[in-house]
A and B are shown apart, each in its own frame.
Chain A
Amino acid sequence: MRHALCLVEDATETASGTHWAQNPYPGVYSATPRTGHQNEPTPWPTRCNGPVTAPPDDCLARNEWICGEYLSTRRHILVDAVGQHLQLTAISVLIGLAIALPLAVVARRWGWAAGPVLAVTTILYTIPSLAMFSLLLPVYGLSATLVVAGLVLYSLTLLVRNILAGLRAVPEETRQAARGMGYGPIRLLLTVELPLALPAAMAGLRIATVSAVSLVTVGAIVGFGGLGNLIYAGMNTYFKAQVLTASVLCVVIAIVADLLLLLVQRLITPWTRAVRG
């Protein structure tokens, strides 16, 4: 009986737009952590705070870690956050790849370029993510571009190192054989060296992608953190179900992305399987 009543009230409240659905993404210049009560409603009794009923006795009200109710009522918030998370990750890794590939090829072709390229990317990688995003603030302001730029710089390091290692591992005899067959430098690079560097490059791509999925969460500081936004909001309101669900989803995204890339790697490098038997 009480549940039926709650559902009705819930519907009217949502329709009048006064509740949690309004602002799923805080984070932009929000108040100090652990004190935020302002815009963020408490996750529990507001759903059903009519004069007639006591707070509902469901897992949201009890603020439990695992809560099916949370999944069903906040589904669209979760889907939006996952979408943003995937978008930020994919764009950053792809841009990183587009920059890393030429850099690695240049560093391989002209030996003197390898030192500076590796040194700069290593320095970039040493800078903590929060500081990196903050250093980019004057350039990009509070935008998704800022998060993407930061992530590109991180994936750049991992990709350049691995692609370069892959190119360097191409046996000299193979290269000479190709030259003997009349291959020019471009054809040698595209049809011999790059395919042979693929396993190492894909390993780098997998590490870069997994790292990017986890680093996107720090983007919550500027309000573009995908699932990190939910974690940040959940921290300010002590909303356990939201923090746990978003965290688990992050790990799931990382694992699925890693497995997908592994699958792609196996599909595009069939010869490595043949060797192993």
Chain B
Amino acid sequence: MNTLTDAWHWLTDSAHWSGDDGIWHRLAQHLVLTVVCLVISCLIALPVALVLGHLGKGGALAVNISNIGRAVPTFAVLVLLLLTPIGKWGEGPTVVALVLFAVPPLLTNAYVGMREVDRDVVRAARGMGMTGSQMLFRVELPLSLPLLMNGVRIAAVQLVATATIAALAGGGGLGRIITAGFNLANTAQVVAGAVLVAVFALLVEGVFEVAERLAPRWARGVR
């Protein structure tokens, strides 16, 4: 309990919120990293998944890539990237690792969503004389949206977690408060940083939960 009070005191000390190592700065870094990498990953993964799903090709790859992503330790990838020439670009290794780990869930979920669209509906669309791109954007994409958004949600949570581990390999973000706490043997700071990270991760999950509740009925996932 004592540690918790210490952590609370650490959190409420205004000196810890300002400056380059301050909470606000780290929070902004974490948020920017998460959002930027989520956008990059979506731009990479979604077009590929939609085209593969539309054509019905490359299914084995799209489904298995998630399993491969799970087997590769985030921390190992971060350190490997740090030791390559990419390591000299500041946040380079972090961004590359974040994107690498966000792409698999996006790809798999979007692909599975596309393939789970009722084949009869797709055939009906073709029978109505829709072209390939019309079918993709007016029929398949809207119907696969719930699973696709679920993939975005998983990817976002994964990004927050990976960005935290990036602090171990010298990256920015809220994880730095934790690693700094370890280096200073300051348990209060470690716990305070962990609380911040956990709250941030739950908030990201919460935003998606709320967005899903507010979404129109057809776009809602049946989970």
Contact = CB atoms under 8 A, between A and B. Distances in A.
Contacts of A264: none
A66 to B, nearest CB: 13
Interface centre among A126, A132, A250 (most CB of B within 10 A): A126
Interface residues of B, number: 42
A32 interface: yes
Given A210-B67, A220-B168, A137 B76 contact: no
A156 B27 CA distance: 29
B44 interface: no
Nearest to B192: A134
Contacts of A255: 71
Contacts of A129: 161, 164-165
B76 A217 contact: yes
Given A134-B191, A250-B76, A255-B71, A128 B201 contact: yes
A238 interface: yes
B109 to A, nearest CB: 15
B197 to A, nearest CB: 4
B29 interface: no
Interface string B1-26: 00110000000000000000000000
Interface of B: 3-4, 67, 70-77, 79-80, 82-83, 157, 160-161, 164-165, 167-170, 175, 178-179, 181-183, 185, 187, 190-191, 193-195, 197-198, 201-202, 205
Given A131-B197, A134-B178, A211-B70, 16 more contacts: A30-B183, A123-B202, A126-B157, A128-B161, A128-B165, A129-B161, A130-B197, A131-B201, A137-B187, A210-B67, A221-B182, A231-B76, A238-B83, A250-B76, A254-B70, A254-B71
Interface of A: 29-34, 123, 126-132, 134-135, 137-138, 207, 210-211, 213-215, 217-218, 220-222, 228, 231-232, 234-235, 238, 240, 243-244, 246-247, 250-251, 254-255, 258
